[in-house]
Amino acid sequence: MSLETLQITFKEDKEMGTDNIQKKRMTGSEAVMQSLIHEGVKMIFGYPGGAIMPIYDALYDYHSQLHHILTRHEQGALHAAQGYARATGDVGVCFVTSGPGATNAITGIADAQIDSTPLVVISGQVASPLLGTDAFQETDVVGISQPITKWNYQVKNVEEIPEAIARAFYIARSGRPGPVLIDITKDAQFAELDFEYKKVEKIRSYIPVTKTDEEKVAEAAQLINLAKKPLVLVGQGVILAEAEKDLMSLLEKTGMPAAWTLLGMSAMPTDHPLNVGMLGMHGNYGPNIKTNDADLIIALGMRFDDRVTGNVQKYATNAKVIHFEIDPAEINKIIYADVPVLGDIKESLPMLVEKVAANKHEAWVEEFRACDRIEDEKIIKNELYPTKEGLTMGEVVRRVTEQFNDEAILVTDVGQHQMMASRYFKFKHSRSVVTSGGLGTMGFGLPAALGAQLGQPDRAVCVFVGDGGFQMTIQELGTIWQTKAPVKIILLNNNFLGMVRQWQEMFFDKRYASTELINPDFQMITRGYGIACEKVEKREDLDGAIKRMAETDGPFLLEVVVEKEGNVLPMVPAGAAVNEIRLE
């Protein structure tokens, strides 16, 4: 049964755990607080309003246990919770009010759904008697959010609050993670119940993880043992399952080269000898070209997104495909799998490691390195070590990652800077990347960086933003200032909507329609929020400014004016095959 059709039937379905706390009389709003505490929640992102005011009133008495972050917009709250969840592996939690508060959250919910980020969003709703009357700030958020949530439910009866929240956390974090929304009417928040909490351990008809078929693993191992040119594709599923060590065991035993998706970035160290780079439209030359030379593709926790495959009719034309995946819906959805291996990759990967033979593929790996040399000569050298006058995005990324010794968490907004940062930032540790993948949400970066920093206070967080996306959630500078989160913001300013302009240059005869920006004084705005900042326009000033940013205890915005018409290359044009990648 799909989660879209799964309904709560509390009286009929009691397949829950026995982790109880003593019954106590309390309001529905206090029951929300107690339920969150029981689920181990420590931080909530949100924005108050009329329909959720009883819950915020109850929160007032729990400030020592539940730390609430007041963002400046509900979309910012959702992205901050995403950043928190992605950096920590915990479920992100949000509070929003009804009507515009709930609809402002929709973009973040959709982003979390497509990128498999576990969230629990609790929205206030008008009182039950007003439902369906077009009351002030009434919106059918359950109906609106149904296609973009893993599960959602409206609570009108106070007695349902503990069980609804228990199920919400179980569904959000189990199997393939995702967002869940619980909409609670105002009268249910005010009403009283005898509170009792039972953590959910299973739900009838909901099977979040399929048991791994050992025969399929054996089939996969046989194909790997016979392959001459195998290529491993590493997706975010490896990170979500905390299977990074198992991945390294597989690669080092078999000698297979591995490339990674945008969300699979940091699953393996950048400098590992079997790491052959990023897949996809703006990925590295080698893994794109060699996809169609491979005789075996081993996909680990990735979904064959169109940005990875290009033209599916011309994708991996010489290869058999093994697909390790937790979500049955992803099997054969885009690319046919000769051997599908369903289940938790944390369980299936060790089984595979036991069954594969020790091997080396030195000549095959060298083919990727030959591609690296071509890409380095034609693109990377000029991007990272330019001799032209204007600053490039790539050289800024390189100098920032070097300043932080490749130890920082990278957060990005969406656009050219996102691709540049993904290509040139370097990593030593997993869970070091927070970016909007499937939805490509401009405005994601700044609030997501806040959430990542609050979730990982002992790590440096560097967020790269463009001058377009930055202005979509620029108000979250206020949240950063209020929390004093020491986020390092690198604004790459080219006075353009850069990625759209690049497409206009390459495919629309340089007809720059509505992409050039007249920007405000970002330095003045940043200082208005009490945040330290600096602007760099010349190459000789860059290193010193980056060093001063790194040494600043609190938040810092470094604005770097980069060349106006720089392009992100290589590029697989839309509709082209991956081996039709362009170097110029």
Annotated active-site positions, please? 74, 136-137, 186, 499
At position 245, the amino acid (one-letter code) is K
Residues in CB range of 286: below 8 A, 6 or more apart: 259, 276, 277, 367, 368, 369, 370, 371, 372, 375
The phi, psi pair for 292, rounded to 5°, reads: -85, 0
Tokens of 243: 């299977």
Give the number of other CB atoms < 10 A from CB of residue 170: 22
Q: How far apart are CA 223 and CA 352, in angstroms?
A: 11
Instruction: Evaluate whether 337 touches 321 at the Cβ level (below 8 Å).
Output: yes
Three-state secondary structure along 60-90? Answer: HHHCCCCEEEECCCHHHHHHHHHHHHHHHCC
Instruction: Evaluate whether 99 touches 138 at the Cβ level (below 8 Å).
Output: yes
With CA atoms as reference, report the closest residue to 246 among 344, 140, 391, 377: 344
Handedness of CA 58, 59, 60, 63 (dihedral sign): positive
- Axis crossing angle, helix 542-551 with helix 393-403, rounded to the nearest 10: 40
Instruction: Evaluate whether 35 touches 165 at the Cβ level (below 8 Å).
Output: yes
Residue 46 CA: distances (Å) to CA of 71, 263, 288, 314, 507: 6, 26, 41, 45, 41
Residue 376 CA: distances (Å) to CA of 231, 362, 545, 578, 583: 21, 21, 27, 19, 10
Residue 396 CA: distances (Å) to CA of 76, 393, 422, 461, 519: 26, 5, 13, 16, 20
At position 159, the amino acid (one-letter code) is E
Give the number of other CB atoms < 10 A from CB of residue 76: 30
Instruction: Evaluate whether 343 touches 326 at the Cβ level (below 8 Å).
Output: yes
At position 394, the amino acid (one-letter code) is G
Q: How far apart are CA 312 and CA 327, in angstroms?
A: 20
- Axis crossing angle, helix 393-403 with helix 416-424, rounded to the nearest 10: 50
| Number of continuous H segments (helices) and E segments (strands) in the chain | 24, 20
